[in-house]
Chains A and B, each alone.
Chain A
């Protein structure tokens, strides 16, 4: 792997008319850089066995969640798969709670009982991190149904990969979601590989937005390497949901630079392919726009980079120094009822 180029812009673009504020660009840059940098460290910590379990990195896909978070409203809800380290960061959770969760510590987002694949946070309506491939598709529609039934505002963003999109439950869900006009946005984080199997090896319909069209669901292909494109698509889809017009399917074309999980030798793709995608790196694109439009000085950028580095160090230190769970906590948070008979003594 060549060193990532996010420290400096990709190329010198000429000044352009921007549709987003300086503040928005700087927030995107900081959040996405934080996702990238913290996950690079997480990868190293994993192979040094600082924590166990599974580990699926989001590196390369940052624009998808960053663009979703910037376009959503506070009351909206989020549900995703097990590639979920970046979601809490995008939604404004301090990354130290996510790292502590990886370490299985008491201070973790899910009290150390979920690990890498199960990041939850009530305050920002992050309804998980789910390990069962595609299970969050019907669950996401279920959350949207609950909101509609109870008369709550709020849209649910339901993210899943291109592999999970092949689960049968997707079709039942799409049918009901359209039938009841549920306020849900289905987001395919299409990184082109279901573990090691490319989209074209699993289907004769490579354009995944076609799946929604058979239910007359508004469906679009989105450039997932551009945070602006993702933001715009999400904003439009949420408006439709808020107006009572029901769900939208977004086939967001992204790419992951790292393996499916930590034990993926990546023999299914060439190094050139990975490098080609790095040329349109989502974090570098944002930095490029900031620099070529003079939205910040070099020292402003250096400060953001330093802040990110400090946040990463602080988060890892917090996780390492946090206490382990007590044995009795094994029996807590299992059932809704406080004294469920089954787990009493």
Chain B
């Protein structure tokens, strides 16, 4: 079952991260504890070790790009696994989250 690796929060004040370097490429096998990428936070460039295992199926943030904490950094899973559904689900959950946020002010009124 494919799993999403999310942009980690590597400092108390970090809201987004820049991928400074990828140490793995799509198709590589990743063990838990292996160096996956280097991420530039608001404080420093930190090494990010994976705590998940599997084959790197998808890279969500390319080297040099910025992405918010929690967004899809990568997807790990079994070789040849279809990840389209996972990406689709993520899109619809994000849409739901947005809806909820819009609803919030109304709830506070009551």
- A residues adjacent to B (C-beta < 8 A): 1-3, 40, 43-44, 46-49, 52-54, 262-263, 265, 267
Contact = CB atoms under 8 A, between A and B. Distances in A.
User: Helix, strand, loop or mixed for chain B's interface?
Assistant: loop
Given A1-B49, A49-B9, A263 B33 contact: no
Interface residues on B, range: 20 to 34
Counting from the closest, the 4 A-B pairs by CB-CB distance are: A263-B11, A47-B8, A265-B44, A44-B51
Interface in B86-108: none
Contacts of B11: 262-263
Contacts of A40: 51
A2 B69 CA distance: 26
A27 to B, nearest CB: 27
Classify the secondary structure of A's interface with B: loop
Nearest to A265: B44
Contact of A262 (B6, B10, B35, B45): B10
A52 B6 CA distance: 17
B41 A263 contact: yes
Contacts of B46: 263, 265
Interface of B: 6, 8-12, 14, 31-33, 35, 41, 43-47, 49, 51, 69-70
Given A263-B43, A265-B44, 6 more contacts: A1-B49, A47-B8, A47-B9, A48-B9, A262-B12, A263-B11
Residue with the highest number of chain A CB atoms closer than 10 Å, among B14, B43, B45, B46: B46
B12 A54 contact: yes
A263 B8 contact: no
A49 B10 CA distance: 9
18 contacts: A1-B49, A2-B33, A3-B33, A43-B51, A46-B9, A47-B10, A48-B8, A48-B9, A49-B9, A52-B12, A262-B10, A262-B12, A263-B11, A263-B12, A263-B43, A263-B44, A265-B46, A265-B47
